[in-house]
Structure 1
């Protein structure tokens, strides 16, 4: 049964990021263009060609779960649980969850799952043998362990899913939540993504792919989306969960929405396992579908939060895709502060886009001094300081994923 509305209302935001934990701290950092990049401390990276990352060092899992539970789940699940709890608190939705758990859904995506636990388990196996592998090894590693454990810990009994679309899965998770609300399968959906990829294997793998910036001497200046000196991304960890709610449910609870999700688009490049389509056709079609399904025109879109990873292969095509939506649209590559949290990036950037629409102010990006050759020239690249946007009515959050996955959502004022 459909709920009779094209929109799903955003009533809560929860985030754990390299620039802070919680919505208020996060947004303050975004407006100040504060960087989360620094030398890696999660492991000894002294022999690595890249030794910088964006770590969520203000996060302490003990603030959100008991010690015994911490030892049984991977860090990506810990991050996901924290952001889900923060989102529920922000929405004032704990009471609804406790009274009507079967009408609450959960979508928690991840690009990699429990890769840290996988590496720990392998070290135990190599050093001590198979009899010393713990009973929670598999349930810490599996990609759906975030959705499974968070669902159990919160008591969610409605539909659940664990999408894994690489760097597009956070945006796709919000779109899946939107779908559940539109179809009437749930009154509230907790949706987003979580990633904890700061491990030797993942960092070494991205170094081998030549995807990351090697500016170890100046971490805060390393990620430079759309800038002439862009040289790759800075890998990051983090999580964001968004409370989506039907119009009727939000009204009954007296919830004050931040904004509305009104459209989405998903496409596949079918081009290359690592590089995006050099013409940007896939990401353009995803954004166009998001605009069309919202019943809007490109001219209605005042801001696009792009994938903007700072890679020469991605920035140019994506910029021209944005220009095809609206030739003069404002954009800011917020990975220049947050780093690239892979599967979680789209969820975190959905929070950025939502707060931009709610507050009618556009967050800037760091490290933009000269437009890179091959990037669209007429876009309004918001850099260094926030930009007031009193007429902002609709925005897009768009992401590309390794393998050619593209996802975009349209967010409008409530």
Structure 2
């Protein structure tokens, strides 16, 4: 089996794609720099969570170094599940890191492909508890729009004024890699 000189990057054929901006909201840090510092420190972000008491696994690595409502801003936060807020903040960081400005780009030529493993499970769990305790009137009318996986791609598109394709591949743990592949295919 032989490989081309570009080692599969696409450089020789003019099909190479580059990632020019990074956005990170993680347990180790809520931006690129604090993430890198947290990662290099070698300290674990895992800690016991009271809400998990009594379960076989009672620890997690929460993202709690950022006020997501404040970071997202505006009135739209009330309709966003946590996973959507994380996506909006990270996407804004990536666009800024790339040196781009949504206020000046042609939004019709900008799309969003955002991989999501599951979506707003906590929204579903909370509303199932409300249903069981108080009946259907207690269930939020925003249940479905807040829990579906493509809510993140849609809200990122709105936040970034991206009027092109808005897609959310949901392929479990492979969602991020699938999103990169789909985005590449859209660009070529």
TM-score range, shorter chain: 0.7 to 0.9
Residue aligned with 2:20, SS = strand
Q: 1:87 aligns with which of 91, 94, 118?
A: 94
Aligned to 2:78: 71
CA change 1:67–1:47 in 2 (3 A) is farther
After TM superposition, the structure 1 = structure 2 runs for residues 229-378 of structure 1, keeping only pairs within 5 Å, are none
Structure 2 counterpart of 1:9: 18
3-state SS of 2:155 partner: helix
**What SS is found at the alignment partner of 2:33?**
helix
Deviations 1:161-203 (A, max 9, x none): 101111111122122222222x1xxxxxxxxxxxxxxxxxxxx
Alignment partner, residue 35 of structure 2: 26
Higher strand fraction (1 or 2): 1
Q: In the alignment, which residue of structure 2 is the partner of 1:225? A: none
In structure 1, the partner of 2:44 is 35
Helix, strand or coil: the match of 1:71? helix
Give the gaps of 5 or more residues in structure 1: 184-414
Q: Hey, what does 1:285 align to over in structure 2?
A: none
- The residue matched to 1:94 in structure 2 has which SS? coil
Matching residue within 50, 59, 72 for 1:52: 59
The corresponding residue for 2:6 is: none
Selected match of 1:107 from 110, 113, 125:
113
Secondary structure at the residue paired with 2:113? strand
Task: Report 1 or 2 for greater relative contact order, CA contacts < 8 Å, sequence distance ≥ 6.
Answer: 1
Which residue pairs with 2:123 in the alignment?
Answer: 117
In the other structure, the counterpart of 1:135 is: 141
Q: Normalization by structure 1: what TM-score? A: 0.41
Q: Which residue of 1 aligns with 2:169?
A: 163
Give the drift of 1:67.
Answer: 5.9
1:289-330 alpha-carbon deviations (Å, 9 max, x no partner): xxxxxxxxxxxxxxxxxxxxxxxxxxxxxxxxxxxxxxxxxx
Identify which range, 80-89 or 30-39, moves more after superposition. Answer: 30-39
Following the alignment from structure 1 to structure 2, what is the Cα–Cα distance between the partners of residues 177 and 63? 29
Match of 2:181 in 1: 175
The match for 2:69 is 62
- For the residues of structure 2 that align with 1:140 and 1:170, how far apart are their CA atoms? 20
Contact 2:69/2:85 (<8 A) preserved: no
Residues paired across the two proteins, number: 176
Separation in structure 2 between the aligned mates of residue 172 and residue 34 of structure 1, nearest angstrom: 30
